Chains A and B, each alone.
Chain A
């Protein structure tokens, strides 16, 4: 009796130990029964759309897919944990900014040849989207690099307006082809800023911008930029750059945007949806929500600075394939399917969470509004114009990490509060950003060297 209990105890300990060991050594990825794992992030709308697209993939190919979905802000951490635990999903979302470190760490597979074998016409996919996931060992985003992912989507960040609000204020709808200058736009903003119920407090504003996400358009359109072409010099201390930041900061002083307290109470995104704000940015992912608003909204080119040309950023998220997958063929097939298949794309576009990845489908999508008056937004073409004409990548998309870029925002509040001049602040922050950028470039080199060594 006693002996058997002892044996039971030892056996339990052994089982526990071997389980632990199994956890540690469980290499490879995916499951053994031919099921792919696909890890992504997104809200309910996206999840539903992807479920449909993946069901169709399984139907077409017979390959089963297990979906792992996380919330947007937890994704990067969870993916990193999966990599560290040797449980890399077969197919997963990859951010532009982490591509280089995932490539040099050997996590992402080079899928250049496999994608070509699938017979996909990459010329029909937005070049910005495809090139974002090309990396030639030193530079990311170049057409000649090897392909380490396909775009899940591209997100041209457009500018929009509340058409009802403009009409009520007697303002003409902005021309979709002729951008407003900053001054013209500011004048309209002032006209829209009103106290509609007469209680002595402003309750309707011209606009409500967020410096961290909207200043890019103003800086670029004014001829400024964050870095030089090859991302070695931080150039935020130029007059063009300072003028753009100052223009945004002064909007608060001009009263055409909710002040910081008001914006904290209800952020400007909520206020736009409540019909209190005239001009506001619109991303493709906003369409699913904005289309149900009880006012009409539409897109327009961003107001232009010194260059006279509108500018804005285009986001993108990629779909990559694990370097250690047991089913490389199926995994590449899934990534290609989600990125380029017409039916799969249609599901996602119908959910109003993105614009089509295929250029011909996108053009059809933009032209649909001519035939159907109920479709929104009317000026869908603006998204396409950004994608093929005046959109660029975010300043830190193709650098190794974004610490240098984030540094700009840490101390910018006094500028927005009017306590410090933009030019002074930028002169002060430039050396710190430069130092961080130098570090990041050095890391990129070391990572590349370490990655190619073994």
Chain B
């Protein structure tokens, strides 16, 4: 056996045959690097594939379907922009669009209440943990169950809401059967359901405001309201922005509570949201192509509104949420 024996059998490292320095390593060419790169690609592929399969493909498919006459069963028939033209003259679509945006009145109301609650919950009051839990319960409850409970609460005859109003001598309306009161009724329910979530985010934001800011303000003689207005409010602004953006998007897609509480779209279609209208067209009237066109329009509207919000936010506050 000579020293040229293979290292595997010799068990000792042979001297390097070439005294010249090893060739310079370029990035990514080592075996380790290459293997890891492969692995990385595989991991990256999962979300990318998921995106292609579950987001991009359905989106493109929907764009095409919106240009067809299609009942959801048979072959599609290309009809160009006919669906979109029909949409312009669809009174019900306009009405449901109005209803949907009307529901968004609840967003600022809900934010104001949850900020107030968050400020209160931040103080050392008795049973603070219990209150936090109570306000958060609706958030984790099933929306279907909540909708049914509120449907009972809104019953014109024996519902909790009207019984409560009756204590003050107010004769409450028949909420869900009255074209004027049905929308406010749904807004109240939505605000109630959303409170806990907004409150929790606000609470976290308030607690992360540096104490020193308040101390400095106190030294300058600022009162409670001044501290709130000039420190707390601007410091939680990113959370406010985040909540508004997500709630507008969520609000534009409101459906389940509408369908359960007012299965026919409410008196004179007064509670029907856009998504409700889309659902009805797609699954009851078998106008899948037309319904898809409506959802494309809804998607574009949400996109535009969200872009405007980002623009306004940047200009007003200088906070950028990435």
Asked if A403 is an interface residue, CB under 8 A from chain B, the answer is: yes
Asked if A76 is an interface residue, CB under 8 A from chain B, the answer is: yes
30 CB < 8 A contacts A-B: A6-B38, A13-B45, A20-B53, A76-B284, A77-B283, A80-B72, A83-B73, A84-B72, A101-B71, A101-B286, A105-B71, A105-B73, A105-B74, A260-B174, A261-B174, A264-B177, A265-B156, A401-B287, A403-B285, A409-B264, A410-B264, A410-B269, A413-B177, A413-B179, A413-B267, A446-B69, A446-B77, A447-B74, A450-B74, A450-B75
Asked if A9 is an interface residue, CB under 8 A from chain B, the answer is: yes
Asked whether, in the complex, the Cβ of B268 is within 8 Å of the Cβ of A413, the reply is yes
Residue ID in chain A nearest B174 by CB atoms: A261
Q: Given the known inter-chain contacts A105-B71, A410-B265, A450-B77, please indicate yes or no for A80 contacting B283, CB distance below 8 A.
A: yes
Residue ID in chain B nearest A9 by CB atoms: B42
Q: Given the known inter-chain contacts A77-B283, A80-B283, A260-B174, please indicate yes or no for A410 contacting B74, CB distance below 8 A.
A: no
B308 → chain A closest CB, angstroms: 33
List the 5 shortest-distance A-B pairs measured between CB atoms, nearest first. A105-B74, A105-B73, A265-B157, A261-B157, A261-B156
Asked whether, in the complex, the Cβ of B283 is within 8 Å of the Cβ of A262, the reply is no
The listed residue with most A CB atoms (<10 A of its CB), out of B45, B155, B285, B287, is B285
Asked whether, in the complex, the Cβ of B42 is within 8 Å of the Cβ of A13, the reply is yes
A86 → chain B closest CB, angstroms: 11
Asked if B126 is an interface residue, CB under 8 A from chain A, the answer is: no
Residue ID in chain B nearest A20 by CB atoms: B53
Interchain CA distance A450-B74 in the complex, whole Å: 9
A257 → chain B closest CB, angstroms: 15
- Could you say which residues of chain B place their CB within 8 Å of the CB of A413? 177, 179, 267-268
Asked if B309 is an interface residue, CB under 8 A from chain A, the answer is: no
Q: Given the known inter-chain contacts A447-B71, A450-B75, please indicate yes or no for A9 contacting B268, CB distance below 8 A.
A: no
- Could you say which residues of chain B place their CB within 8 Å of the CB of A454? 75
Asked if B35 is an interface residue, CB under 8 A from chain A, the answer is: yes
- Could you say which residues of chain A place their CB within 8 Å of the CB of B53? 20
Q: Given the known inter-chain contacts A6-B38, A446-B77, please indicate yes or no for A265 contacting B155, CB distance below 8 A.
A: yes
Interchain CA distance A410-B283 in the complex, whole Å: 18
- Could you say which residues of chain A place their CB within 8 Å of the CB of B38? 6
B82 → chain A closest CB, angstroms: 11
Q: Given the known inter-chain contacts A9-B39, A402-B285, please indicate yes or no for A264 contacting B174, CB distance below 8 A.
A: yes
Asked whether, in the complex, the Cβ of A102 is within 8 Å of the Cβ of B267, the reply is no
Asked if A441 is an interface residue, CB under 8 A from chain B, the answer is: no
Asked if A418 is an interface residue, CB under 8 A from chain B, the answer is: no
Asked if B225 is an interface residue, CB under 8 A from chain A, the answer is: no
Asked if B158 is an interface residue, CB under 8 A from chain A, the answer is: yes
Please name 8 further chain A to chain B contacts, defined as beta carbons within 8 Å, in addition to the given A98-B286, A107-B73, sorted by A numbering. A80-B72, A80-B73, A101-B74, A101-B286, A402-B284, A402-B285, A403-B284, A411-B268
Asked if A176 is an interface residue, CB under 8 A from chain B, the answer is: no
| 0/1 interface trace, chain B 56-84, chain A, CB 8 Å (1 if under) | 00000000000001011111010000000
| 0/1 interface trace, chain B 263-306, chain A, CB 8 Å (1 if under) | 01101110000000000000111110000000000000000000
The listed residue with most A CB atoms (<10 A of its CB), out of B53, B265, B268, is B268
| 0/1 interface trace, chain B 18-62, chain A, CB 8 Å (1 if under) | 000000000000000001001100100100000001000000000
Cross-interface CB contact of A102 among B73, B155, B177, cutoff 8 Å? B73
Asked if A168 is an interface residue, CB under 8 A from chain B, the answer is: no
Interchain CA distance A241-B38 in the complex, whole Å: 74
Asked whether, in the complex, the Cβ of B35 is within 8 Å of the Cβ of A2, the reply is yes
Asked if A434 is an interface residue, CB under 8 A from chain B, the answer is: no
- Could you say which residues of chain B place their CB within 8 Å of the CB of A101? 71, 73-74, 286
Interchain CA distance A13-B46 in the complex, whole Å: 9
Asked whether, in the complex, the Cβ of A6 is within 8 Å of the Cβ of B268, the reply is no
- Could you say which residues of chain B place their CB within 8 Å of the CB of A265? 155-158
Within 8 A of B (CB), among A56-107: 76-77, 80, 83-84, 98, 101-102, 104-107
